[in-house]
Amino acid sequence: MITIKELEHLAVLSRIELAEEDKKSLIKEFDSILAYVDQLKKVKVSTAAEDRVGAVKNVSRRDLAEPISKEDRDRLMAEAPEMVGEFVAVKKIIEQD
């Protein structure tokens, strides 16, 4: 049902490198899971799709920078794999002409 090309595309979208030897078995597993969930297509849907559970509503916080203590900040920053000075270091993504 799902082709190797589709699987590779999903992997690109998901930012995961797949090992060549895993692709075949992943496709097999995908197909068996999709065949199972495809049974949902038979259901006569009577209510409108509603994407929230129970009485819980979406809550947004105010769009404000909250102050954070130096200790908290240091603990969070300590988890970054690479730092330059006070900043998290990442690779350059914009090329200069």
Least distance (Å) between residue 73 CB and another protein:
9
**Which residues contact another protein (rule: CB under 8 A)?**
2, 7, 10-11, 13-19, 22, 26, 29-30, 32-34, 36-37, 39-41, 43, 45-56, 58-61, 72, 75-76, 78-82, 88, 90-93
Query: Cβ closer to another protein: 5 or 41?
Result: 41
| Burial (0-12, 13-18, 19+ Cβ within 10 Å), 10 | middle
Smallest distance, another protein to C-beta of residue 33, A: 6
Cα 2 from Cα 55, distance rounded (Å): 38
The distance of closest approach from Cβ of residue 24 to another protein in the complex, given in angstroms and rounded to an integer, is: 13
Cβ 43 vs Cβ 20: under 8 Å: no
**Is 5 or 92 the residue whose CB approaches another protein more closely?**
92
As beta bridge partners, residue 84 has 87
Phi, psi at 76, each rounded to 5°: -65, -45
